[in-house]
Amino acid sequence: MLCTGVAVGVGLFFFWLIGDIFLKGAPGITWEFLWDEPENAGRKGGIAPVLVSTAAILLVTLGTAVPIGFGTAVFLAEFSQGKTTLGRMVRRALDVLASVPSIIFGLFGNAVFSHWMGLGFSILSGGLTLACMVLPILIRTIEAGLRAVPLSTRLSAAALGLSRVAVLRDLIFPAAVPSLAAGLLLGLGRALSETAALIFTSGYVSRMPESLLDSGRSLSVHIYDLAMNVPGGDTHAYASAWVLIVLLFSINGLTALCLDHWGKTRMRGL
């Protein structure tokens, strides 16, 4: 009884929270809102430049994190099997990295990309900071996908005299595609929800960015700024939160589809 009561209570609370965002956000969603520049510090107008900046930051993030993460995952899954010293150390370092709070990434990004490398408050600084942040989840998912390819596939290929490169390219990657996509989407979702690491790396200029070296405000930073610093910005903060949540839910849905498919291919392999 106690358990059911608590579960119902907490469930209702959650629906209150999600329902609040959806109901208060939905009326603000119009073409103009998605298409226009913000006016009057965001109280009026739309979020077009914010969406463009967000997309640019995410492109920088994935453009940097995917090659490095992919290489690391291949190394951990195919070349080291978790047994070499380097493999063990890298995995350990990634576990620690996964638990570093986002504000610390913000400090790091500010010190390294904005100041030391001289990129200032820019989309590039923000994107690179987020790339460091999403690496662990990206690597973990891709590695799990590569490892899920059955050993028999590798052994048969080796018995047929295929080179390792050919095995990876023609057998393992195709089989692991869904999990690669899932890793990418998980990283994307994580980057999209991040705020604290961006406030002082990519900054909060809400103009349309002209290059990657311009400061750009991400969707999450826009919500924060409207809610905290702009009196009367609530309506547009809710509408922006609505957009953010819908984007995240779509990404999560796609991830679930990928993982589902991955489970099925694995079943067939067995």
Residues 87-116 binding other proteins (CB under 8 A) are: 87, 89-90, 93-97, 99-108, 110-112, 116
Reference 239, options 40, 81, 23; nearest CA is 23
Footprint of other proteins on 25-54 (CB under 8 A):
none
**Binding flags for other proteins, 49-78, as an x/- string (CB under 8 A):** ------------------xxxxxx-xxx-x
Separation of alpha carbons 155 and 145, rounded Å: 18
Interface with other proteins: number of residues (CB under 8 A): 77
Q: Name the strand (E) or helix (H) holding 224.
A: helix 219-229
Shortest CB 133 distance to other proteins, Å:
9
Of these, 119, 199, 258, 259, which contacts other proteins (CB under 8 A)?
199
Shortest CB 40 distance to other proteins, Å:
19
Shortest CB 222 distance to other proteins, Å:
9
Residue 87 to residues 31, 72, 77, 92, 142, Cα–Cα distance (Å) = 50, 9, 9, 9, 15
Q: How many residues does the chain have?
A: 270
Rg (CA), the chain: 22
Part of the chain binding other proteins (CB under 8 A), chosen from 4-12, 52-60, 148-156, 258-266: 4-12
Reference 217, options 52, 70, 69, 67; nearest CA is 52
Cβ distance to other proteins smaller for residue 171 or 227: 227
**Binding flags for other proteins, 126-165, as an x/- string (CB under 8 A):** ------x--x---x-----------------------xxx
Separation of alpha carbons 187 and 168, rounded Å: 23
Separation of alpha carbons 144 and 28, rounded Å: 41
Separation of alpha carbons 248 and 238, rounded Å: 15
Footprint of other proteins on 219-258 (CB under 8 A):
220, 223-224, 227-228, 234, 237-238, 241, 244-245, 248-249, 252
Shortest CB 255 distance to other proteins, Å:
10
Separation of alpha carbons 56 and 212, rounded Å: 7
Contact status: 170 vs other proteins (CB under 8 A): no
Contact status: 193 vs other proteins (CB under 8 A): yes
Footprint of other proteins on 201-220 (CB under 8 A):
220
Separation of alpha carbons 33 and 47, rounded Å: 6
Contact status: 23 vs other proteins (CB under 8 A): no
Separation of alpha carbons 105 and 110, rounded Å: 8
